[in-house]
Amino acid sequence: MLGLASISLVLAASIVIGVWGVKAARSTPDFLVASRRIVPGWNALAIAGEYVSAASVLGLAGLLVKNGVGAMWYAVGFTAGYVLVAALVAGPMRRSGAYTVPDFAEYRLGSPRIRRMCGLVVLVIMLLYLIPQFKAAGVVLELVSGIPYWIGVVGAGLVVASTIAVGGMRSATYVQAFHYLLKLAFIAGPALFLIILAGPERRHAAIHPAEVDADWMRPMLDLGDSGHPVLATVSVLLATTLGAMGLPHVVMRFHTVAGARAARRVAVSVIVLLSAFYLFPVVYGLLGRVVAPSPSETDVIPVLVPGAIAPGAVGAVLTALVAAGAFAAFLSTSSGLLLALAGGLSHDLFGGSLQRLRLGVAVGTGLAVALALPSEEVDINVLVGWAFAVAASTFCPLLALGIWWRGLTATGATVGLLIGAGSSTGAALTSVFIDIEPGAVAILLAQPALWTVPLAFAAMILASRPSSVPEWASEAVLRLHLPGRYSAEPPRPRKPLDAPGEAQAPLPRSGLGPTEGRGDGGDAIR
């Protein structure tokens, strides 16, 4: 019951901060990107808070116990992705001034069709990512309070949807920053305690797993004993690293900072925050192998470890803390994902008002909850891995080529997106529904990034005809790499506006935050 109480406290605190953060979400830009008024430090915390999901808090430790130390590659890939974000995406993406990836695609390729296609891809990625979050909420609630899995999942859906629909992104930023700190405190604090409480014997056993079988110890991800651990590891690493770069909800976050420089720096700060966090799930995994070697549900290992190490009141308190941390992970990630999903549904697919955006939140939650109900048996990291694989095979090539290669055309992007999304989701679905004997083929279907990413890149490059790139598209790319003094001019409205005063309205400089020293805050778009 202590666990349920602490979860309720997290929830209450999130709502209070959310309400405090709502300076009223009035318009779409307000709702989606908090009118770009968010300070970089908060932003980095919020990105990390949103990113450290149930996959990191629960799934990582669970997979570690189940499959071996190779599971740590997930954490490495999740973090390595931000090197690519800092190097390839953050700055130029911010300069484009686009809200979402579909917005960017339209800016760069000038085709409303491609925007709708991107909107669809956003839906697929976000849903794949949301399902395991709801699964996590369900299993944690079931463990700490005995609530049946399905009630936990549905309840979690209601809570998240209502907080988002009321607050939008501005509140989400503060809530998520708070959640990062909460997760760090509630996962790291108990972990340190547990290391001490475990005693020398169990500590020794945890960090000298040499006595266990060599397969578990090999720092490779051998999925389902396929016999090709290096292949599987490389494919997972590729999916997580490149996928992080193409995650729509992460890319969206960079539009809330003041400018391109700040965006890049935020990405670097995120690496620091993630590095600090990812040490601790490993602690639970290593200890979990010793104290809870074969639970029926590996995804709740971190919640089981405290009770196994310290029975009694101390254990109960620590369990409650970890459960609250896990719930915070669920809450923050799913609200970020839902925002991106709702954005995709209303803003990119149907053309959106705030009303539709809220409807989008409700629809997205409903879909994710419905799909999470039958997914209780699937490992969190397997599902999250697919979300990353799809992102790596679609938006990663779209952004990498769109930002750095002027030759990319709308046709090329369309073909590449179709092939990337089709092959990666197709492979994942095949591996679910068809039983294939373990081996290289099984790996390449369950972890398809190794071949779908190059395929998508190749398709985009081959289907584009660089010679036919119009001048404005080439200029659009150039602007992405120019510091503010070139691109920060106030954009001139294309149409005469009904109120004469509006045409002279200055760029909302005052709203751009104090950080950008050189005035590099401009939007090339609109």
Partner 1 sequence: MNQRVRITSPQTRLALRRRTDAMRPGGRRAGRPPIASTAIDIDAAERALRRQRRLAVRTVLSLGGALAALLVAADLAAGRLGWAVLFFAPYPVLLALAAVHVRRAERIESDS
Applying CB under 8 A, among 52, 252, 271, 361 the residue interacting with partner 1 is 271
Q: Is 489 in the site for partner 1 (CB under 8 A)?
A: yes
- Least Å distance, CB 218 to partner 1, is 5
- Side-chain half-sphere of 16: how many Cα atoms within 13 Å? 7
- Least Å distance, CB 239 to partner 1, is 13
In the shown chain, the binding pattern of residues 238 to 257 toward partner 1, with x for contact by CB under 8 A and - for none, equals ---x----------------
Q: How far apart are CA 118 and CA 141, in angstroms?
A: 35
Which DSSP letter does residue 56 get? Answer: I
The residue whose two tokens read 């779209």 is: 398
- Binding segment for partner 1 among 39-47, 82-90, 132-140, 387-395 (CB under 8 A)? 82-90
Q: Which of residues 411-470 bind partner 1 (CB under 8 A)?
A: 470
- Angle value at C-alpha 516, between 405 and 102, nearest 5 degrees: 40
280, 188 contact by CB (below 8 A)? yes
The residue whose two tokens read 């106030």 is: 490
Comparing CB distances to partner 1, the nearer of 1 and 440 is: 440
Handedness of CA 103, 108, 112, 114 (dihedral sign): negative
- Binding segment for partner 1 among 5-13, 175-183, 218-226, 309-317 (CB under 8 A)? 218-226
| Residues in contact with 360: Cβ distance below 8 Å, sequence separation at least 6, in sequence order | 341, 342, 343, 344, 345, 346, 352
Applying CB under 8 A, among 72, 159, 301, 361 the residue interacting with partner 1 is 72
- Least Å distance, CB 451 to partner 1, is 17
- Least Å distance, CB 151 to partner 1, is 38
| Residues in contact with 482: Cβ distance below 8 Å, sequence separation at least 6, in sequence order | 95
Assign 108 to helix, strand or coil.
helix
Applying CB under 8 A, among 63, 80, 310, 368 the residue interacting with partner 1 is 80
Q: Is 304 in the site for partner 1 (CB under 8 A)?
A: no
Comparing CB distances to partner 1, the nearer of 28 and 298 is: 28
Q: Is 483 in the site for partner 1 (CB under 8 A)?
A: yes
Q: Say if residue 485 is exposed, middle or buried (CB neighbours under 10 Å; 0-12, 13-18, 19+).
A: exposed
- Binding segment for partner 1 among 1-9, 267-275, 296-304, 368-376 (CB under 8 A)? 267-275
Q: Which of residues 114-173 bind partner 1 (CB under 8 A)?
A: none
Applying CB under 8 A, among 31, 42, 73, 388 the residue interacting with partner 1 is 73
Q: Which of residues 276-295 bind partner 1 (CB under 8 A)?
A: 278-279, 282, 286
Phi, psi dihedral angles at 238 (to 5 degrees)? -65, -45
138, 155 contact by CB (below 8 A)? no
Q: Is 516 in the site for partner 1 (CB under 8 A)?
A: no
Comparing CB distances to partner 1, the nearer of 286 and 460 is: 286
Q: Which secondary-structure segment (H or E) carries 133?
A: helix 112-145
444, 427 contact by CB (below 8 A)? yes
Q: Report residue 19 as tokens.
A: 């309400």
Of 338, 399, 386, 345, the C-alpha closest to 101 is 399
- Least Å distance, CB 259 to partner 1, is 11
Q: How far apart are CA 369 and CA 133, in angstroms?
A: 10
Q: Is 502 in the site for partner 1 (CB under 8 A)?
A: yes
Applying CB under 8 A, among 155, 189, 209, 407 the residue interacting with partner 1 is 209
Q: How far apart are CA 418 and CA 160, in angstroms?
A: 31
Q: Is 28 in the site for partner 1 (CB under 8 A)?
A: yes
- Least Å distance, CB 81 to partner 1, is 9
Comparing CB distances to partner 1, the nearer of 16 and 192 is: 192
Count of positions (residues) in the chain: 526
Of 165, 181, 202, the C-alpha closest to 360 is 165
- Least Å distance, CB 249 to partner 1, is 20
Q: Is 475 in the site for partner 1 (CB under 8 A)?
A: yes
Comparing CB distances to partner 1, the nearer of 441 and 497 is: 497
Q: Is 404 in the site for partner 1 (CB under 8 A)?
A: yes
Q: How far apart are CA 280 and CA 504, in angstroms?
A: 53
Q: How far apart are CA 71 and CA 62, in angstroms?
A: 9
Q: Is 505 in the site for partner 1 (CB under 8 A)?
A: yes
Comparing CB distances to partner 1, the nearer of 234 and 449 is: 234
Q: How far apart are CA 215 and CA 224, in angstroms?
A: 12
In the shown chain, the binding pattern of residues 327 to 366 toward partner 1, with x for contact by CB under 8 A and - for none, equals --------------------x---xx--------------
Q: Is 67 in the site for partner 1 (CB under 8 A)?
A: no
Applying CB under 8 A, among 24, 210, 313, 434 the residue interacting with partner 1 is 210
37, 509 contact by CB (below 8 A)? no
Q: Is 501 in the site for partner 1 (CB under 8 A)?
A: yes
Q: Report residue 240 as tokens.
A: 């997580």
